[in-house]
C-alpha cells in the first residue's frame, strides 16, 4: 500500500469535546504553553533503573522504549500494562519508560513500582501538563468535569512542542505513542528511531471506522434520516448501524474529521501498530487489518492478563466492594459500570436506580464522583436496596470485580477495555453504549462474538446523550432480571464467554498468539536498533 504524505508536525487550534465525544476546534491558545526548566524528572527510586548501561547481549544496554499515553485512564492503564509486559518479557534487555504528566503518573505509580519490585526495568518520566485552565492535579478526562473536557483535548495539541523537546533530549530506541499524538512519527523519524502507534480500541471498530470514513461524503449527504448505514468492506457478516449511532465526525466537520488523514498517514508511515486485543476474539478482522492498515501489526492483548494485584490498578478505589461481593452467592451479582467518562442525565440515572431495584437482583453499581451528589437518588432508595445492592462512588477495581466469583454479568457501556476485560473474565454482558465507537463495539459483542445482549431496543439511541430516549426503569428491571435468570439463550452467551476467557488466557501464555506478537515486537525493535548508524548513545 502506498504511504500517504505525512504533514510536518504543527500546533493546531485547541480542541473542545462535546457530550458525544467528538472534537471541535476553538480558539488559539498557543501562548499558554509553559515549558518548565524542570520538565523532566523521575522519582529517586526509579532513577536507579536508568543506571543500567549494559546487558548480557554483547554488553549493549537494554532496548529503551518510551510510551506516551493520551490523557484518559482508558488509554493510560492498558499502555502501562503493555510497558510492564514488555519489560517482564525480556528482563534486563528491555527498559520501558512511561512518559506522563504528574497526576497521571500518580495513577500508575503502584503498577510501575510493583514491576520494579519484581526486578523489571520500568520507569516514570514526568513532563508538565499544559496550562489549559484546569485545577491543579486535573490532567485526564475522568478527573475533569464534563464541561471542562474540551480543555483536556486542548492539552493534547499543546503537548506537541513538549514531546519534541523531550524526545530530542532523551533519544530512546523506540517510541510507542497513543493515537492522538500523530506528530510523534515525524519526531521519531528526526532522531532515527521507530514510532509505533498504540490503539486501545479493538480491530473490529478500527476497521469499521476506517471504512465508514471512506464513504463519509455519502453518509453526510444522506443525513440522519437514513435508516442505517452498511459498513463497507468488512469480512464476515454484514454490519449495519443507524446514523444516530455513528461518531459525529462522520456526520459533520470536526477536528477529528480534519485530523483523520494526519492520524492515518502517521500510522502508515510509522514502524507499526500495537493493539490491545487477541486474535481469537476478532477473527477474521485481524487478518484484514494486517493487510490494509499497518506496515506491521502486533496484537498483544489482553494486556491486563494475568490478573495479579489488580486492586489498586489505576489509582486508589473502593476495595470494600470486594468484601461485599464475598457475601453474595456465586454468579448472582450484576456489575454495572459505564466507564470514567460516561455522561447520563439526572433523569436517566434515576431510572437506572429504579430499574436495578425493580430487577430484584443483587447489584454492584459504580457511578462517577461527579454524579454522586445524591440529588438523583429516589427517596428511600438506598434503604430499600441496602441488603442486595451496593453503590460505589468514584473508582472501583474493575479487574478484581470482574474476576470475583459472585459476579455473574456485566452491564457495560461497551468501552473497549470493558469489552476485553469481560471476555477475559468469562462474563456475559448487557450492552448500553453511549458515545463514539461504543455502538460499533456492541455489534462485535452481540452479533459477532455473541457473548452479550442489548439492554434495550425500545427507543431512539444516539451518540448525543441529550438526543437519546430515556431508558425506562421498567425496561431496565426486566432486562436485568431476564438476563440473570438464565435460559437457553443466556446459557449460550455464558458458554461463549467462558470459551473466550480460555482463549484470552491461552493468547498471553507462552507460545500463545499475543505472547508471540509481543516477543516479535521486541525482536523487531532490537533488530531495528542494530541496523541504525551507531551514535554516541550506543557507545
∠ Cα 298 299 300 (to 5°): 105
DSSP-derived letter for residue 23 is E
Q: What domains appear along the chain, each with residue ranges and CATH number?
A: 52-200 (3.40.50.2000), 320-504 (3.40.50.2000)
What contacts 24+ positions apart, CB below 8 Å, involve 255-264?
Answer: 255/12, 255/13, 255/15, 255/23, 255/24, 255/25, 255/153, 256/22, 256/23, 257/213, 257/216, 259/12, 259/23, 259/182, 260/213, 261/4, 262/6, 262/7, 262/182, 263/179, 263/180, 263/182, 264/4, 264/210
Q: What is the pTM (predicted TM-score) of this model?
A: 0.84
Contact partners, residue 422, CB within 8 Å, separation at least 6: 402, 410, 412, 428, 429, 451, 452, 497
Is residue 163 within 8 Å of 170, Cβ to Cβ? no
What DSSP designation does 134 have?
P
DSSP string across 375-422: TTSPTTHHHHTTTTEEEEES---HHHHHHSTTEEEEEE---HHHHHHH
Q: Specify the residue for cell string 456485566.
A: 410
For the annotated catalytic residues, the residue numbers are 75, 178
Residue with cell 462474563: 427
The continuous run of DSSP H or E covering 66 comes out as strand 63-68
pLDDT in tens, the chain (539 residues): 333 333 333 333 333 233 333 333 333 332 223 333 223 333 333 333 333 334 334 457 899 999 999 999 999 999 999 999 999 999 989 999 999 999 999 999 989 999 999 999 999 999 999 999 999 999 988 788 878 888 998 999 999 999 999 999 999 999 999 999 999 999 999 999 999 999 989 999 999 999 999 998 888 887 777 788 999 999 988 999 999 999 888 887 766 767 888 899 999 999 999 999 999 999 889 999 998 888 899 999 999 887 555 555 555 556 788 999 999 999 999 999 998 766 788 889 999 999 999 999 999 999 876 655 555 678 888 889 989 999 988 778 899 999 999 999 999 999 999 999 999 999 999 999 998 899 999 999 999 999 999 999 888 888 887 788 999 999 999 999 999 998 888 889 999 999 999 999 999 999 999 999 999 999 999 999 999 855 444 44
Q: What are residue 240's DSSP bridge partners?
A: 230
First to last CA, the chain: 37
Amino acid at each position: 500500500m502506498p504511504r500517504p504524505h505525512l504533514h510536518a508536525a504543527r500546533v493546531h487550534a485547541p480542541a473542545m469535546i462535546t457530550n458525544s465525544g467528538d472534537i471541535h476546534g476553538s480558539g488559539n491558545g498557543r501562548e499558554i504553553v509553559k515549558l518548565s526548566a524542570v520538565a523532566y524528572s523521575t522519582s529517586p527510586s526509579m532513577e536507579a533503573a536508568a543506571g543500567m548501561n549494559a546487558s548480557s547481549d554483547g554488553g549493549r544496554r537494554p532496548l529503551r522504549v518510551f510510551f506516551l499515553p493520551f490523557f484518559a485512564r482508558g488509554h493510560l492503564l492498558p499502555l502501562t500494562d503493555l510497558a510492564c509486559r514488555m519489560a517482564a518479557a525480556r528482563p534486563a534487555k528491555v527498559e520501558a519508560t512511561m512518559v506522563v504528566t504528574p497526576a497521571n503518573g500518580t495513577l500508575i505509580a503502584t503498577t510501575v513500582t510493583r514491576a520494579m519490585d519484581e526486578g523489571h526495568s520500568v520507569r516514570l518520566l514526568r513532563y508538565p501538563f499544559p496550562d489549559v485552565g484546569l485545577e491543579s492535579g486535573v490532567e485526564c478526562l475522568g478527573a475533569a468535569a464534563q464541561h471542562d473536557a474540551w480543555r483536556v483535548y486542548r492539552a493534547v495539541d499543546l503537548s506537541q512542542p513538549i514531546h519534541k523537546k523531550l524526545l530530542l533530549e532523551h533519544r530512546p530506541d523506540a517510541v510507542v505513542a497513543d493515537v492522538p499524538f500523530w506528530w510523534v512519527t515525524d519526531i521519531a523519524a528526526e532522531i532515527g528511531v521507530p514510532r509505533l502507534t498504540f490503539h486501545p480500541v479493538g480491530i473490529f471498530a478500527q476497521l469499521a471506522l476506517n471504512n465508514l470514513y471512506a464513504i463519509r461524503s455519502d453518509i453526510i449527504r444522506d443525513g440522519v434520516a437514513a435508516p442505517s448505514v452498511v459498513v463497507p468492506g468488512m469480512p464476515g457478516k454484514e454490519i449495519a448501524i443507524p446514523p444516530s449511532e455513528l461518531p459525529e465526525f462522520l456526520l459533520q466537520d470536526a477536528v477529528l474529521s480534519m485530523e483523520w488523514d494526519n492520524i492515518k498517514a502517521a500510522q502508515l508511515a510509522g514502524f507499526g501498530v500495537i493493539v490491545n486485543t487477541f486474535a481469537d476474539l476478532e477473527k477474521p478482522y485481524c487478518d484484514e487489518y494486517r493487510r490494509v492498515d499497518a506496515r506491521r501489526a502486533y496484537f498483544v492483548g489482553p494486556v491486563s492478563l494475568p490478573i495479579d494485584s489488580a486492586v489498586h490498578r489505576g489509582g486508589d478505589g473502593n476495595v470494600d466492594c470486594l468484601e461485599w461481593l464475598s457475601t453474595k452467592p456465586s454468579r448472582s451479582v450484576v456489575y454495572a459500570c459505564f466507564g470514567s467518562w460516561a455522561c447520563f442525565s439526572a433523569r436517566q440515572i434515576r431510572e437506572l436506580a429504579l430499574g436495578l431495584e425493580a430487577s430484584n437482583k443483587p447489584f454492584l453499581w459504580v457511578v462517577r464522583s461527579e454524579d454522586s451528589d445524591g440529588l438523583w437518588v429516589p427517596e428511600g432508595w438506598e434503604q430499600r436496596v441496602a441488603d442486595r445492592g451496593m453503590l460505589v462512588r468514584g473508582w472501583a477495581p474493575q479487574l478484581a470485580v470482574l474476576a470475583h466469583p459472585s459476579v455473574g454479568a456485566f452491564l457495560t457501556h461497551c468501552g473497549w477495555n470493558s469489552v476485553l476485560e469481560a471476555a477475559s473474565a468469562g462474563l456475559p454482558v448487557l450492552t448500553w453504549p453511549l458515545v463514539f465507537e461504543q455502538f460499533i463495539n456492541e455489534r462485535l459483542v452481540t452479533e459477532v462474538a455473541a457473548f452479550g445482549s442489548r439492554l434495550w431496543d425500545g427507543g431512539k439511541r444516539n451518540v448525543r446523550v441529550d438526543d437519546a430516549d430515556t431508558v425506562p426503569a421498567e425496561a431496565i428491571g426486566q432486562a436485568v432480571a431476564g438476563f440473570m435468570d438464565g435460559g437457553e439463550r443466556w446459557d449460550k452467551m455464558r458458554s461463549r464467554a467462558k470459551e473466550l476467557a480460555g482463549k484470552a488466557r491461552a493468547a498471553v501464555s507462552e507460545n500463545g498468539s499475543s505472547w508471540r506478537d509481543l516477543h516479535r515486537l521486541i525482536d523487531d525493535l532490537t533488530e531495528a536498533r542494530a541496523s541504525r548508524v551507531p551514535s554516541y548513545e550506543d557507545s
